[in-house]
C-alpha cells in the first residue's frame, strides 16, 4: 500500500468513515487471519482475535501525523498481542484444570456422621445445602479457607488467582450464606 493511500485511509478512519473500515477489513483480514491462525491453531478463535483487532483499530486509529508509520504492521502487532493474551489464558485454564484434577484424585471422601442421632442435625443439613447453592469458585475458596484451614495467600497461590479475588470470593460467599442461613440464627451460638 502506498504511503499516500495509507495516509488517506488513516485520515478517513480517524474521521469515523465506516467505508474506510470496510476497506481496511478487506485489505488486512488475510494478513491478520494468517498470523492468528498460525499462533492459535483454532480458526474460530483466530477470527475472534481479528475482530477484536479491528475493534481496537476503529477505537484508537491515530491520524497520519500522530501515529507510527505502517497501518498493517500496527494491526499485526495488535493481533499478535491479542493472540498471546489468548494463549496465556489457555495456559492458565489448563494449569487450573490440572490442579483441580489432582486435588480431586488425592482427596478422600469425608465420612458423614449419623446426623439424625445428634441434636442440631437439621442445622448441619441446612448449612451443607446452602454451601451447595454457592457458585463453584466461591464454594472452593470457602472450603479451602474454613474447612482446610488455608490462609488467603495460600488459597491465591493454590488457585492461581490474585489475593484480592480470593478475598472477594470469600466475602461474597459469606454474604450469601448469611442471607440463606438467616433463619438459623437462633440455633447458632
d(CA 164, CA 189): 30
Which residues have a Cβ under 8 Å from the Cβ of 61 and sit 6 or more positions away? Answer: 10, 13, 14, 67
Contacts by residues 11-18 (CB-CB < 8 Å, ≥ 24 positions apart): 11/63, 11/64, 13/57, 13/58, 13/61, 14/61, 14/62, 14/63
User: Does the model's pTM come out above 0.75?
Assistant: no
pLDDT reported for residue 189: 43
Q: In this structure, is residue 14 part of a structural domain?
A: yes
pLDDT tens digits in sequence order for the chain, 189 residues long: 677 888 888 888 888 889 989 998 998 999 999 999 999 999 999 999 999 999 998 888 876 666 666 788 888 999 999 999 999 998 998 888 888 877 775 555 565 655 555 556 666 677 788 888 999 999 999 888 877 788 899 899 999 999 999 999 999 998 898 888 887 766 554
Does 72 lie in the same domain as 8?
yes
Does 11 lie in the same domain as 81?
yes
CATH number for the domain spanning 33: value is 1.10.1740.10
CATH number for the domain spanning 129: value is 1.10.10.10
Give the DSSP per-residue string, 59-92.
HHPPPTTTS-S-HHHHHHHHHHHHHHHHHHHHHH
> Which residues constitute the domain of residue 53?
3-92
Q: In this structure, is residue 153 part of a structural domain?
A: yes
Does 139 lie in the same domain as 88?
no
On whether the CB atoms of residues 162 and 156 are closer than 8 A, the answer is yes
How many domains, in total, are found in the chain? 2
Does 66 lie in the same domain as 145?
no
pLDDT reported for residue 100: 80
Does 128 lie in the same domain as 83?
no
Q: In this structure, is residue 106 part of a structural domain?
A: no
Which residues have a Cβ under 8 Å from the Cβ of 57 and sit 6 or more positions away? Answer: 13, 21, 24, 74, 75, 78
pLDDT reported for residue 37: 92
Q: Point out the domain boundary residue: 92, 109, 144.
A: 92
Q: In this structure, is residue 20 part of a structural domain?
A: yes
Q: In this structure, is residue 103 part of a structural domain?
A: no
Amino acid at each position: 500500500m502506498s504511503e499516500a493511500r495509507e495516509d488517506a485511509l488513516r485520515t478517513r478512519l480517524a474521521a469515523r468513515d465506516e467505508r474506510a473500515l470496510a476497506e481496511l477489513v478487506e485489505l488486512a483480514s488475510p494478513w491478520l487471519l494468517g498470523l492468528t491462525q498460525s499462533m492459535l491453531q483454532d480458526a474460530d478463535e483466530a477470527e475472534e482475535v481479528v475482530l477484536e483487532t479491528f475493534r481496537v483499530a476503529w477505537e484508537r486509529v491515530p491520524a497520519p501525523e500522530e501515529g507510527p508509520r505502517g497501518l498493517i504492521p500496527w494491526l499485526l502487532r495488535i493481533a499478535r498481542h491479542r493472540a498471546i493474551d489468548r494463549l496465556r489464558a489457555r495456559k492458565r485454564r489448563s494449569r487450573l484444570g490440572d490442579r483441580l484434577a489432582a486435588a480431586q484424585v488425592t482427596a478422600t471422601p469425608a465420612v458423614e456422621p449419623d446426623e439424625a442421632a445428634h441434636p442440631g442435625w437439621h442445622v448441619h443439613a441446612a448449612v451443607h445445602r446452602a454451601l451447595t447453592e454457592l457458585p463453584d469458585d466461591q464454594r472452593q475458596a470457602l472450603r479451602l479457607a474454613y474447612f482446610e484451614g488455608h490462609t488467603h495467600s495460600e488459597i491465591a497461590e493454590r488457585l492461581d488467582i490474585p489475593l484480592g479475588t480470593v478475598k472477594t470470593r470469600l466475602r461474597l460467599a459469606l454474604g450469601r450464606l448469611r442471607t440463606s442461613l438467616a433463619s438459623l440464627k437462633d440455633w447458632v451460638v
